[in-house]
Amino acid sequence: MRPLDGIKVLELGQLIAGPFATKILAEFGAEVIKIEPPLSGDPLRKWRLLHEGTSVWWASQSRNKKSVTVNLRSPEGQGIIRRLVKEVDILVENFRPGALESWGLDEDTLKSINPALIMVRISGYGQTGPYRDRPGFGVVGEAMAGFRHLSGEPGRPPVRVGISIGDSLAALHAVIGSLMALRHREVQQGGGQVVDVALYESVFNMMESLVAEYAHFGEVRQPAGSSLPGITPSNAYLCADGKYALIAGNGDSIFKRLMLLIGRPDMAEDPAFAHNDGRVAEAEYIDGVIAQWAAQHSLDEVLQALHEHRVPAGRVYDVADIFKDPHYQAREMLIQGELEDGTAVTLPGILPKLSKTPGGVERKAPTLGQDTDEVLLSLGFDEATLHQLRAQGVI
């Protein structure tokens, strides 16, 4: 048994935010029916590196899902969705606000069909407010939330993280919201509701002390490269072999151990450095002392010494390092999967890790429309109708 066994999810999203949310739900037992446009499918099928014409990303993003092709812009296709809505617990969509409404799939209509339906709506700016109708991607949400302003080196252009972090954070908030709504429905018998997730708000929720510092001090936090302003020491330090060690010696007792390790007992015992606020006042000096020590040793030597003295530290991994790391293997964070044609491929493991009801992979990512007939036949359509709908380009 998995925690979401028996829960049915209808996915109307594409690309990242909505599909990543349903991926997580599917890994923990939910039956996810993914709706894709006939012929073209989800654009993610063609993103980044392709194997036999299909993205290898697709193999992890869509595992455990069923693919059903439906033209949402056709009245017949919209009728199929309304019939599916009767059968599902959660609908996840990440179209621009107003799209569902234009297709006759508005909240009131769907609630009249299924009052217990939980609608998870992911968009750039949310379902209300002056920006609701603007197209919004994760990158724009990252900028609006203040995240991009803090990314990069002082005085240089902001940089992106290298992944679609805004979309992924929105997906996580969508999962959290859907599970809360499920609990409300099932335990408090409160019926269905709408979970309104905005990309920019999902990133904004990660911005820690940004708001309170500005409100109270008028402080506009600035980019700081690899350091962590206001928390000292926490930075990347260049080692003798040209590699960087990430060292987080910002706990009071940890700082003492770090200073003793690098031969600075005077700093370890200095009352001015006993707590973070005192260290922050001399952050540049402290960083310089640590950098001088790191520059005399290779990365492996630095990390071995730090681990022995219980100082949090690590190397900067690329994906090749991840594949070689025994901890990733031990934690089953790299698992074997399959591409559409059956070719073996290594994929990311399942998170979060539950001791009694862990997630898993029951089926590989589907080919386009692989499950259309099965799902529509289960709704009461007959073979002749499916043939007609297919001829009309509806499915």
Active-site positions? 167
63, 19 contact by CB (below 8 A): no
Q: Which amino acid is at 378?
A: S
CB-neighbour burial class of residue 277 (10 A; exposed 0-12, middle 13-18, buried 19+): exposed
Would the CA dihedral through 238, 240, 245, 251 be positive or negative? negative
93 contacts: CB under 8 Å, gap ≥ 6: 11, 12, 13, 18, 99, 100, 119, 120, 121, 122
309, 258 contact by CB (below 8 A): yes
The pairing of beta strand 313-315 with beta strand 334-338:
unpaired
230, 239 contact by CB (below 8 A): no
Q: How far apart, in Å, are the Cα atoms of 199 and each of 23, 91, 193, 203? A: 18, 18, 19, 7
The pairing of beta strand 118-123 with beta strand 8-11:
unpaired
Residue showing tokens 């080196």: 153
Would the CA dihedral through 384, 390, 394, 395 be positive or negative? positive
- CA atoms of 58 and 175, how far apart (whole Å): 20
Q: Which amino acid is at 50?
A: L
Q: How far apart, in Å, are the Cα atoms of 353 and each of 143, 183, 325? A: 32, 20, 19
Q: How far, in whole angstroms, is CA 199 from its chain's centroid?
A: 11
- The residues that bridge with 247 in the sheet, in sequence order, are 235, 313
